[in-house]
A = this chain, B = another copy of it.
Amino acid sequence: MDIEEVSTPALCADLDYLEWNLQTMAERVPGTRLRPHVKAHKMTQLAARQHALGHTGFTCATAREVLGLAEAGLGTDLLLANELLDPLRLSAMARCDARVTIAVDSEETILAAHAAGIDECVIDIRVGFRCGCEVEEAPFLADLARSKGMNVRGVMGYEGHAMGVVDLEKRQDLTHRAMERLLSAHELVGGDLITGAGTGTHLINTWVNEVQAGSYVLMDTAYTSQLDQPFKQALFLQSTVISKAKDFVVCDAGLKAQGMDHGNPTYLDGEIMFCSDEHTNIIPTTPLQVGDQISLVPAHVDPTMAKHEILHLVRGGKVVDQWNIDLRHW
C-alpha cells in the first residue's frame, strides 16, 4: 500500500532509519551492555529485533510491558525499572515465564515484591528527581531484601534530569555528578549490575555497566536537537490537510495523536500555530491543498507511541509492515 492510501492520522516509522538506528546503537553499546527500554516504543515486534541483535535483557516501566515481553518469549532478563506495590501485578510478574528483577527503594516496595514472590531486585538510588532512595539508605534496604532471601543484583540510577539537556558539556557534568552517587551506593550494596543511562547519555555515561536507552530507535525532536546524537529521525505522524484558510491549513493530527509535554510537533515546510484535540494548524511555506498528506515529527516519542494502536513501517513510499503497539497501558 502506498503511504498516501493509509488512513490518517497514522503513526509511521521509516524502516531504513529504524534499522540504521538499531545497528548504530548495537555497535556503540553492544550486547547486554544495552538493556533497551521498551517504554519508548511499547512493541514486542521491535523488542524481538533488539533481542536478535544481542540485547537480550530489557528495561520496562510497567507490569504490562514485563508481562507482554514474557508472553512474546522475550523474558530472558526483564528489569522493571520502576517501583510497584500492586499485589496483583507483582504476583502476575512473579508467575510469568521470565526472569524478573524489580527496582525497590523502600521497605514497603521490598516487602510487597517479596510477598508476591518476586525474588530478584536492584536498589534504586535517587540520582535525579524521580524515584530512588538516598545513598546512605541503600545498604539497609539491600540487607532487608537479602534477609528475605531476595537476590540483590546491584543498583540502578536514572539521570533523567541530564537526559534532555542539549549542551553536551552540561549533560556530561550532570551525568558525572549523578553517577558519583550511584557508584557510592554500589560500593555499599554490591552486586553485578550498575544500571541506568538513556539515549541522551548512552556514550557519555561511562560509569554504568548497563544502558537503558529506548528512544534511539524511533527518535523525536527533543533528542535530535542534541548534536552529538548519531540517530536518525525514524518516527513521523502522517496527516491529511482537511481544511484551508487564507493564511493557514488545518490537518487531522491533533494532540490526541501525539505527546504534547515537550511542546508542539515540527513540520519541515511551515510553522506550527497550535494543536487542538483532533487538529494541528500550520502556516505552510510551500502551498498545501485540501487532501494533501504531510508528515509531522512529534516532540516526544514515548507518549506519542502510547496513543496509537499500530505503527506503520514505511520504505520507499510504501507501507511494508504494521506492528502492533501491544505493550500500552499498565
Q: Which residues of A contact B (CB under 8 A)?
A: 7-9, 39, 61-62, 82-86, 88-89, 105-106, 108-109, 124, 126, 129-132, 160, 240, 242-245, 250, 252, 255-256, 259-261, 273-279, 281, 289-291, 302-303, 306-309, 329-330
Contact = CB atoms under 8 A, between A and B. Distances in A.
21 contacts: A7-B89, A7-B330, A8-B86, A82-B242, A82-B252, A82-B278, A83-B242, A83-B252, A85-B291, A86-B240, A129-B274, A130-B276, A130-B279, A130-B281, A131-B242, A132-B243, A160-B276, A255-B303, A259-B260, A277-B302, A308-B329
Contacts of A255: 259, 261, 303
A303 to B, nearest CB: 5
Given A84-B242, A277-B303, 17 more contacts: A8-B330, A61-B277, A61-B278, A62-B278, A83-B242, A83-B243, A85-B240, A85-B291, A106-B243, A106-B290, A108-B291, A109-B290, A130-B276, A131-B242, A256-B303, A259-B260, A260-B260
A67 B109 CA distance: 44
Contacts of A252: 82-84
A301 B218 CA distance: 28
A255 B306 CA distance: 10
Contacts of A9: 330
Contacts of A86: 7-8, 240
Helix, strand, loop or mixed for chain A's interface?
Answer: loop
Q: How many copies of this chain sit in the oligomeric assembly?
A: 2
Closest 8 A/B residue pairs (Cβ): A131-B243, A83-B242, A108-B290, A260-B261, A256-B306, A255-B261, A61-B278, A106-B290
Contacts of A244: 106
A259 B244 CA distance: 27
Given A242-B83, A242-B131, A330-B9, A261 B275 contact: yes
A91 B237 CA distance: 24
Given A8-B86, A9-B330, A61-B277, A307 B309 contact: no
A83 B279 CA distance: 10
A140 to B, nearest CB: 15
Contacts of A130: 243, 250, 276, 279, 281
A61 B242 CA distance: 13
A124 B303 CA distance: 32
Nearest to A243: B131
Nearest to A105: B243
Contacts of A306: 256, 307
A79 to B, nearest CB: 14
A9 B263 CA distance: 24
A263 B282 CA distance: 22
A252 B103 CA distance: 14
A86 B6 CA distance: 9
Contacts of A289: 108
Contact of A329 (B108, B243, B309): B309
A303 B108 CA distance: 33
